[in-house]
Chains A and B, each alone.
Chain A
Amino acid sequence: AQKVTQAQTEISVVEKEDVTLDCVYETRDTTYYLFWYKQPPSGELVFLIRRNSFDEQNEISGRYSWNFQKSTSSFNFTITASQVVDSAVYFCALSGAYIPTFGRGTSLIVHP
């Protein structure tokens, strides 16, 4: 069975602080994909990144970076110099052959 754990229910930071959202996963599949999605207050779900199980290279996209570590089954997401527009619920997700599994989400609140 697959499982995704986002232990941080809510994180509150002040603008310009760096923040890391944790994601730990469990799967028996040897090939799988990891994802992060953003759900801003407007409600839509927006895809941010996909990583496959064979690619442990870290990725940076502007102020966003992702750290995939297979040894600890973690796929953490860091926002550098956070902004108020980053306030959202962030979901980590795991996909094996057919069933996508989402974590319970981390609510990030960035105060001005």
Chain B
Amino acid sequence: DTAVSQTPKYLVTQMGNDKSIKCEQNLGHDTMYWYKQDSKKFLKIMFSYNNKELIINETVPNRFSPKSPDKAHLNLHINSLELGDSAVYFCASSQEIAGGLNEQFFGPGTRLTVL
């Protein structure tokens, strides 16, 4: 029983294409995230959803659009892919606690390669 799952694990595509990455968590958490990890391992938060509502939208191009159909799912759609979008994308979830957030559970990551 995977706590946080992402599909696909690998995604290779051409510049200009549109692609989606799916994420599901079965932990009953309220909050889900998308992170981008570049080749230098820098982990940058992109979006955060709490109970299907967008909470954080960091400086991310409009080509990236998150969609949360329900509390357990947070999908990431990317339009007009560019070379610079190549990275590992991690989905995560956590439960809100008093004054902050609990530890995050991460999915296995999706390695996106744009050619």
A residues adjacent to B (C-beta < 8 A):
29, 31-33, 35, 37, 39, 43-47, 50, 52-53, 89, 91, 95-102, 104-105, 107
Contacts and interface: CB of A to CB of B under 8 A. Distances in A.
Interface in B15-40: 33, 40
A95 B101 contact: yes
B69 interface: no
Contacts of B97: 33
B41 A97 contact: no
Interface in B96-114: 97-106, 108-109
Nearest to B96: A98
Contacts of A52: 99-100
B101 A98 contact: yes
A104 B99 contact: no
Contact of B103 (A44, A50, A97, A99): A50
Given A100-B33, A102-B43, A104-B42, A44 B106 contact: yes
B56 A99 contact: yes
Contact of A43 (B40, B48, B109): B109
B11 interface: no
A31 B88 CA distance: 31
A45 B81 CA distance: 25
Given A44-B108, A53-B99, 8 more contacts: A43-B108, A45-B43, A45-B92, A45-B104, A98-B48, A98-B50, A100-B45, A102-B45
A29 B100 CA distance: 10
Contact of A98 (B56, B103, B105): B56
A38 to B, nearest CB: 11
Residue among A33, A45, A97 with max Cβ neighbours from chain B (10 Å): A45
Given A97-B99, A99-B48, A45 B56 contact: no
B108 to A, nearest CB: 6
Contacts of A45: 43, 90, 92, 104, 106, 109
B55 interface: yes
Contact of A31 (B44, B92, B99, B106): B99
Contacts of B106: 37, 44-46
